[in-house]
């Protein structure tokens, strides 16, 4: 039962985001700008760093990854509570894969960033995401929130 509360708290933290992005009706935007449909997507606005494409890609990958991650963590806990070990392991693998994909995008965008501060921040975020895993008790919510706030400063919506 404590694990369910931990996931609920984690989901609340991740879904609340930092409040800097316009999330509209998307409950999984997590403080990241949601990608607009390609046909109506304007050119990314200049950012404080000038790395609009890097910022957009980092935020879009985060939004998608966190949505999958939270859903799979919840599925993992439900399956574990019912004793379905196969489904629990499958959900755990899917949650870890979502984090790995996000980490890889952050590393890639870090290499592409021209602003040294953004480059460092994305590398730090990639390290933080790599350490998340599926043990909800081990997640450092404070550090993750601090990094997210820095990203929002460097990549305003």
Q: What pLDDT shows up at residue 85?
A: 96
Exposure class string for 58-93: b at 16+ Cβ within 10 A, else e: bbbbbbbbbbbbbbbbbbbbebbeeeeeeebeebbe
Please state, in angstroms and rounded to a whole number, the distance separating the CA atoms of residues 113 and 53.
9
pLDDT band of residue 135 (cuts 50, 70, 90) is confident
Residue 24 has pLDDT above 60, yes or no: no
pLDDT band of residue 86 (cuts 50, 70, 90) is very high
Show the tokens assigned to 124.
């730090």
Q: What pLDDT shows up at residue 106?
A: 93
In which domain, by residue range, is 130 found?
2-154
Q: What pLDDT shows up at residue 50?
A: 62
Mean pLDDT, to the nearest integer, of 42-69? Answer: 76
CA angle (104, 110, 114) in 5-degree steps: 155
Mean pLDDT, to the nearest integer, of 83-97? Answer: 95
Mean pLDDT, to the nearest integer, of 66-82? Answer: 92
63 near 35, Cβ under 8 Å? yes
Lowest mean pLDDT: which of 42-46, 111-115, 135-139?
42-46
pLDDT band of residue 150 (cuts 50, 70, 90) is confident
Proportion of the chain above pLDDT 70, given as a percent: 66
Comparison of pLDDT for 150 and 74, the residue scoring more: 74
pLDDT band of residue 141 (cuts 50, 70, 90) is confident
Please state, in angstroms and rounded to a whole number, the distance separating the CA atoms of residues 107 and 42.
25
Domain count within the chain: 1
What is the overall mean pLDDT for the chain? Answer: 74
Lowest mean pLDDT: which of 96-100, 105-109, 146-150?
146-150
Q: What count of other Cβ atoms lies within 10 Å of the Cβ of residue 99? A: 21
> What is the pTM assigned to this prediction?
0.66
């Amino acid at each position: 039962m404590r694990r369910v509360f931990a996931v609920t708290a984690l989901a609340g933290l991740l879904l609340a985001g930092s409040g800097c992005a316009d999330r509209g009706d998307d409950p999984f935007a997590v403080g990241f700008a949601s990608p607009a449909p390609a046909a109506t997507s304007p050119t990314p606005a200049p950012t404080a760093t000038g790395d609009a494409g890097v910022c957009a890609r980092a935020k879009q990958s985060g939004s998608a990854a966190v949505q999958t991650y939270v859903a799979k963590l919840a599925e993992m806990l439900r399956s574990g509570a019912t004793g379905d070990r196969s489904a629990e392991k499958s959900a755990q693998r899917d949650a870890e894969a979502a984090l790995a994909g996000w980490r890889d995008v952050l590393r890639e965008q870090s290499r592409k960033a021209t602003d040294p501060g953004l480059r460092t921040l994305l590398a730090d975020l990639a390290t933080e995401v790599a350490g998340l895993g599926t043990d909800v008790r081990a997640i450092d919510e404070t550090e993750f929130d601090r990094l997210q706030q820095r990203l929002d400063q460097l990549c305003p919506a």
